[in-house]
């Protein structure tokens, strides 16, 4: 894959926004079928330009306006905000207090840095295949709950481009939820609690909630390979003392003795299971949850006016595109094979000249073909995942409209 050089970003972004960004699909998503008047026009976009110049309250009347502005500004980062009561770019002309955030997708932000106390391979912004399993488990756990416990249908999972994942829940009813309800949903989905000073962050009582039980079942599928082999969390005294800090004092010394006699994380985990089962606690599950359960940024989810990085934005440090994740292939998703802006721009150069000229000639007369160049690059399969998500949104919307017209006919 073409290596990414941040100094080339300004030139690469020009090419990306001119010939590769999937504008038609992007507009189709945020316009939501044009069912609600001015829905797209009242949406806030925020652009971060070179040297961290930050422009909030951008808004556009249509796809063409959005395209022109993005190609003029070439933003280093795009964030999406709420749908407001008025056009965000006119917010200064609205009388004080009248400009209000009214709707937004329910969003979740899961960042690998929040797991630094429990991963041994990397820290801060770094990730590797050994810790990426945390994101795989997070997607599986949160997505199952959103779908089965809450009945949310339209969930778009997106790789952030560096060290995390985002989820956009786009059902019509969800976009209307109040901040209080959003907080309640995040609270339901939170199990690991307490800041850096709190050692034991998971406490289970006798009756385990079905959500927690189902989450443990998902973690169990990954735990041995992830925690005991890849992370080797009981490898030596320094690492197992962190685990023993979570166990009741009554069995602490016995475990310490047994751990010293054992030769691997796998053996030590078996000892822990055996000894903790005698004490009648949920210790095994509490440790699994503390080491593997998703850690959500509550503030991102509860605020309606909170901005979140847009799908298909480019990460300025890694050059990776923020791409949708196929829920059918979560276990196969590899952040290190996600295309960089360098690689897809290079792939454009490889397109035979006659095809390229044809594409560019058409673009003058019609805005659609200019977005088709991505089909010739490794961005194509990710746009396809996005299109499948949009298909399902469209079907659902048509179903709702049919239902409404049938009800009206009944009257």
Coil, strand, or helix at residue 13? helix
Q: Which two tokens stand for residue 330?
A: 């979560």
Catalytic residue among 103, 109, 143, 171: 109
Sequence-distant (≥ 6) Cβ neighbours of residue 85 within 8 angstroms:
42, 94, 98, 99, 100, 102
Catalytic residue among 79, 103, 111, 171: 111
Q: Kindly give the pairing relationship between strand 106-111 and strand 77-84.
A: unpaired
Residue 318: DSSP 8-state: T
Sequence-distant (≥ 6) Cβ neighbours of residue 259 within 8 angstroms:
234, 237, 240, 244, 268, 271
| CA pair distance 317, 102, nearest whole angstrom | 33
313: left (phi over 0), alpha (psi -120 to 50) or beta: beta
Q: Which two tokens stand for residue 268?
A: 């030590």
Sequence-distant (≥ 6) Cβ neighbours of residue 185 within 8 angstroms:
106, 150, 177, 301
Question: 179: closest CA among 107, 284, 94, 112?
Answer: 107
- Residue 44 falls in the annotated catalytic set: yes
| CA pair distance 52, 56, nearest whole angstrom | 12
Question: 225: closest CA among 266, 194, 262?
Answer: 266
| CA pair distance 222, 207, nearest whole angstrom | 24
Q: Kindly give the pairing relationship between strand 77-84 and strand 308-309.
A: antiparallel
Coil, strand, or helix at residue 322? coil
CB-count burial class (<10 Å; 0-12, 13-18, 19+) for 149: middle
Q: Which two tokens stand for residue 47?
A: 């652009």
Question: 104: closest CA among 174, 162, 56, 167?
Answer: 174
- Residue 111 falls in the annotated catalytic set: yes
Cα torsion 19, 24, 29, 30 to 10°: value is 80
Determine the angle formed by the axes of helices 249-261 and 265-278, rounding to 10 degrees: 150
Cα torsion 139, 142, 144, 146 to 10°: value is -130
Active site residues: 44, 109, 111
């Amino acid at each position: 894959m073409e290596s990414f050089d941040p100094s080339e970003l300004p030139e690469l972004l020009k090419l990306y926004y001119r010939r590769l960004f999937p504008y038609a699909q992007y507009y189709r998503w945020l316009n939501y079928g044009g069912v609600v008047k001015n829905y797209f026009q009242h949406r806030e976009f925020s652009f971060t330009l070179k040297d961290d110049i930050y422009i909030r309250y951008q808004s556009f009347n249509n796809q063409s306006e959005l395209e022109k502005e993005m190609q003029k500004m070439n933003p280093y980062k795009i964030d999406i905000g709420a749908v407001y009561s008025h056009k965000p770019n006119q917010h200064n002309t609205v009388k004080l207090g009248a400009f209000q955030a009214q709707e937004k997708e329910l969003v979740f932000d899961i960042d690998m840095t929040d797991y630094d106390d429990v991963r041994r391979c990397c820290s801060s912004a770094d990730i590797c295949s050994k810790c990426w399993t945390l994101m795989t488990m997070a997607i599986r756990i949160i997505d199952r709950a959103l779908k089965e416990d809450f009945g949310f249908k339209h969930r778009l999972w997106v790789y952030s481009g560096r060290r995390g994942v985002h989820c956009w829940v786009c059902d019509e009813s969800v976009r209307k939820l109040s901040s209080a309800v959003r907080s309640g949903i995040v609270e339901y989905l939170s199990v690991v609690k307490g800041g850096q000073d709190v050692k034991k962050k998971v406490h289970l009582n006798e009756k385990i909630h079905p959500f927690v039980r189902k989450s443990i079942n998902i973690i169990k599928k990954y735990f041995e390979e992830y925690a005991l082999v890849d992370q080797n969390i009981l490898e030596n005294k320094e690492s197992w003392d962190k685990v023993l800090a979570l166990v009741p004092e009554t069995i602490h010394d016995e475990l310490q003795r047994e751990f010293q006699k054992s030769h691997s994380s796998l053996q030590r985990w078996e000892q822990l299971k055996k000894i903790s089962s005698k004490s009648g606690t949920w210790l095994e599950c509490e440790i699994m949850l503390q080491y593997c359960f998703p850690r959500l940024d509550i503030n991102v989810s509860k605020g309606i006016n909170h901005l979140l990085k847009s799908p298909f934005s480019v990460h300025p440090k890694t050059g990776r595109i923020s791409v949708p994740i196929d829920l059918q292939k979560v276990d196969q998703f590899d952040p290190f094979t996600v295309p960089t802006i360098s690689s897809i721009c290079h792939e454009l150069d490889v397109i035979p000249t006659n095809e390229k000229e044809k594409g560019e000639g058409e673009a003058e007369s019609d805005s659609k073909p200019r977005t088709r160049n991505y089909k010739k690059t490794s961005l194509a399969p990710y746009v396809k995942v996005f299109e499948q998500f949009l298909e399902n949104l469209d079907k659902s919307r048509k179903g709702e409209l049919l239902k409404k017209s049938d009800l009206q006919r009944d009257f």
